[in-house]
Homo-oligomer: A and B are copies of this chain.
């Protein structure tokens, strides 16, 4: 049993816990999800969780951090030629299918609501949103430049902001009307995206 194995073990356990917690938080909400339920889903005793996380709150924070890291990674992988309308439609499809690797829209809402009460979470989300907006604005500028077009930095920020609103608005919509017709969704995107990302 070498050091790597130990690290892997611990990492795997933390991951098991975070996945289980994510599932529970989505299913019952942060407050209603009990440590016992998380332990059950993670298939371990409740006490063991505390070997890997200081508290229930620490788990929430860890989940938030992981989501943010994933989001940044997604933006970093954006290609200049990406078909954005298709990308957003794919995102919605992943939301609907409950894909584990994608930010869950219900979790997004709950995390956001939490931010209005917990300063630590508020700071984390606010900073992360600023960063991802800048990341995306930079991408917009570069993509335009590669087409010989010059975009003002402020304008790029505003467009990135608009995209955040659009995507998060969609997330709310999907949660409130999961059966929303694909047709209307596509039409809406076709109408809005051009002014947002050109």
Contact = CB atoms under 8 A, between A and B. Distances in A.
Contacts of A176: 112, 115, 122, 125-126, 129
A196 interface: yes
Interface stretch (A10-18, A143-151, A157-165): A157-165
A106 interface: yes
A113 B29 contact: yes
A175 B112 contact: yes
A63 to B, nearest CB: 15
A137 to B, nearest CB: 11
A167 interface: yes
Interface of A: 26-32, 106, 108-110, 112-117, 122, 125-126, 129-130, 154, 157-159, 161-162, 164-173, 175-179, 184, 187-188, 191-192, 194-196
